Amino acid sequence: MKTSLHRRDFLAAAGGAAILGCSASGLFAQDSASGDLSEFVQVSQRDPRYFELTNGKPYIPIGLNMISPPWPWTDGEELTRLENQWLKPLSENKGNFIRIWLSTPAYEVERERAGVFDEERRLRLAKLFSLARKYGIRMKLCTEHFRHLGGGEISWAARPMHLKENGGPAENTRAYFAGEAGRVHYKKKLDWYAEHFGSDPIVFGWELWNEMDAVEGLPREILWDWSTEMLAALHERFPKNLAMQSLGSYDVENKKAGIYRQLCDLKGNDVLQVHRYLDLGARWKICSEPMAFLTAEAVRDMLAPKVLKPVLLAESGAVEPNHAGAFKLYPRDRAGILLHDVLFAPFFAGAAGPGHIWHWDAYVAPNNLWFHFARFAAVVEGLDPPAENFQPFELDDERLYLYGLKGNTKTLIWCRDKMNTWKTELEEDKVPETLSGLAVDLDARGKRVQFYDPWQNRWTDGKANGEKIVLPNFRRSLVVTVS
């Protein structure tokens, strides 16, 4: 995520739902593979566009960014609040994944001096790991997010302790990445993490940086050289965990053939991540489109070069223009249409999992939207994407987005009303229309057809009508399964 008042607020502060499970009548049998916490997550050996556990069972990361608590941390009740307000409701609603920034004030182990690691923070992280295991939630751990070492535009992204004048390894930001001393320092920190938290299957993977292209004054050639060297360092220290890098918001069109295309070919990068937000201030018009469309297109662009890696929409959500803060219409989205689209659209466009929303504390928790994770889980529970060898497709329709996955034994289609968007429902207060009499052009004769309504949490049986599937009445969206 780019500069945001919301980020500044929570970082400054950090310094100082009911279970809505899946219907038993769902298409896929229940499976506890994601809860097998003795196994590591890996790129599937059967289909490298998806994940699986080291025992061969599929893994779909269902969760969100949970970067850092937004409240001041004094090691009193903070972990209890983290557990009860976020981790427990996510787990109760079938979530199995979060992303953490280890470099936020709440978790940063270099508190006062570069290269000196704090025992109190080690114990705090150990408690976090313990909570993650308790709730069956694997963690993607981002090691760093700073954008300058001092004197830059963004105060929350400074790390002056790494300047030589403060006892650090580098004269300036560029020197930290280009020079040997800065690289030795970063690897020393990785060594510390490996010593205390290595070889742990509760770790989904290790992420080098948050949006590294946002580091001020960092030439691209240094960015890629540093990333290649440090991804190798991650693999050496955490051989059983995934390793990955991330770039800034995909909100400028030339990034498609530019820096994001380079990310596709980055050696040692196990997961192809993309960040994209609904942002009315972005230069690329697509970032103002309906959430379903803008998120699905981001995934499609990452899949287009046909790099055989899992793709994840790793950050998403809605922001005020140019990431000036959390979206002003969030409080109106009590139904959670934005979260729903972030979850469903990427997966049905071919991603290895649902999208991972950013505003966990300003949107998901305040609006009590945890049930949406269970609704997505209802569709994929028991599903084995690597075995299906899914091929994403789209069907043309005037009224619906029809994003589908055709597999060896199953076909899934997400039907999304084009006329129901963030603009119509949240800005214009238009009640979503009940759609009736619609059909999908798909020949399902002789096959089992089922519908899942994620807004009613209800499975129903259907049938083919010649070369079409007639849809039941629904509002906003519907999932069709054919097997």
CATH number of the domain that residue 173 is part of: 3.20.20.80
| Same domain for 78 and 227 | yes
Handedness of CA 184, 186, 187, 193 (dihedral sign): positive
**Distances, alpha carbon 134 to alpha carbons 89, 127, 378, in Å:** 13, 10, 22
| Cβ neighbours for 235, distance < 8 A, ≥ 6 positions apart | 243, 268
Q: Is residue 421 part of a domain?
A: yes
Angle at 374 between CA 369 and CA 380, to 5 degrees: 140
Q: Please return the burial class of 295, using the count of CB atoms within 10 Å of its CB with bins 0-12, 13-18 and 19+.
A: buried
Beta bridge partners of 475: 434
Q: Is residue 196 part of a domain?
A: yes
Closest among 366, 312, 324, 359 to 338, alpha carbons compared: 359
Give the E-state strand segments of 160-229 in sequence order. 203-207
What is the Cα 58 distance to its own chain's centre? 18
Which residue is associated with the tokens 């220290």?
237
Q: Is residue 76 part of a domain?
A: yes
The b-or-e profile of 307-335 (16+ CB within 10 A means b, else e) is bebbbbbbbbbbbbebbebbbebbeebeb
| Same domain for 221 and 132 | yes
C-alpha span between 347 and 188 (Å, rounded): 37
What backbone phi and psi angles, to 5 degrees, belong to 268? Answer: 85, -5
| Same domain for 342 and 409 | no
| Same domain for 476 and 414 | yes
Of 338, 359, 384, the residue that ends a domain is: 384
Rg of the chain, C-alpha, whole Å: 22
> Is 315 within 8 Å of 359 (Cβ atoms)?
no
What is the per-residue pLDDT for 1?
Answer: 52
Query: How many Cβ atoms sit within 10 Å of the Cβ of residue 413?
Result: 24
What SS3 state is found at 290? coil
What is the per-residue pLDDT for 75?
Answer: 64
Q: Is residue 264 part of a domain?
A: yes
Q: Is residue 389 part of a domain?
A: no
pLDDT along the chain (483 residues), means of 10: 38 33 33 69 98 98 94 75 94 98 95 94 95 97 96 88 96 97 98 97 98 96 98 98 98 97 97 98 98 98 97 98 97 98 99 98 97 98 97 98 98 98 98 97 95 98 93 98 97
CA dihedral (119, 155, 139, 388) in degrees, to 10, reads: -160
C-alpha span between 286 and 300 (Å, rounded): 13
Mean pLDDT, rounded, of the chain: 92
**Distances, alpha carbon 231 to alpha carbons 179, 191, 370, in Å:** 17, 13, 33
DSSP string for residues in 43-69: E-SS-TTSEEETTS-EE---EEE----
**Distances, alpha carbon 248 to alpha carbons 254, 316, 449, in Å:** 13, 11, 41
> Is 197 within 8 Å of 125 (Cβ atoms)?
yes
| Same domain for 263 and 185 | yes
Q: Is residue 390 part of a domain?
A: no
What is the per-residue pLDDT for 354?
Answer: 98
What SS3 state is found at 125? helix
**Distances, alpha carbon 263 to alpha carbons 130, 253, 266, 299, in Å:** 33, 15, 5, 14
| Same domain for 173 and 198 | yes
Beta bridge partners of 400: 417
Task: Quote the domain boundaries for residue 470.
Answer: 395-482
Tokens of 27: 């298409």
Query: How many Cβ atoms sit within 10 Å of the Cβ of residue 479?
Result: 23
What is the per-residue pLDDT for 33?
Answer: 41
| Same domain for 238 and 90 | yes
| Cβ neighbours for 92, distance < 8 A, ≥ 6 positions apart | 17, 18, 19, 370
| Same domain for 408 and 374 | no
| Same domain for 230 and 94 | yes
What is the per-residue pLDDT for 154?
Answer: 86
Q: What is the 3-state secondary structure (H, E, C) of 312-376?
A: EEEEECEECHHHCCECCCHHHCCCCHHHHHHHHHHHHCCCCCCCCECCHHHHHCCCCCCHHHHHH
Q: Is residue 136 part of a domain?
A: yes
What is the per-residue pLDDT for 70?
Answer: 77
| Same domain for 243 and 180 | yes
What is the domain-level CATH number for residue 431?
Answer: 2.60.40.1180
Which residue is associated with the tokens 């390793």?
243
Number of domains in the chain: 2
Q: Is residue 190 part of a domain?
A: yes
pLDDT tens column, 53-111: 999 999 999 999 999 987 777 766 788 889 999 999 999 999 999 999 999 999 999 99
**Distances, alpha carbon 301 to alpha carbons 280, 298, 305, 313, 346, in Å:** 20, 5, 8, 11, 11
What is the per-residue pLDDT for 76?
Answer: 67
Of 351, 384, 417, the residue that ends a domain is: 384
> Is 160 within 8 Å of 114 (Cβ atoms)?
no
| Same domain for 406 and 286 | no
Of 384, 405, 425, the residue that ends a domain is: 384
What is the per-residue pLDDT for 365?
Answer: 97
| Same domain for 369 and 263 | yes
pTM value > 0.85: yes
Tokens of 169: 């390894």
What is the per-residue pLDDT for 79?
Answer: 84
What SS3 state is found at 140? strand
C-alpha span between 355 and 282 (Å, rounded): 20
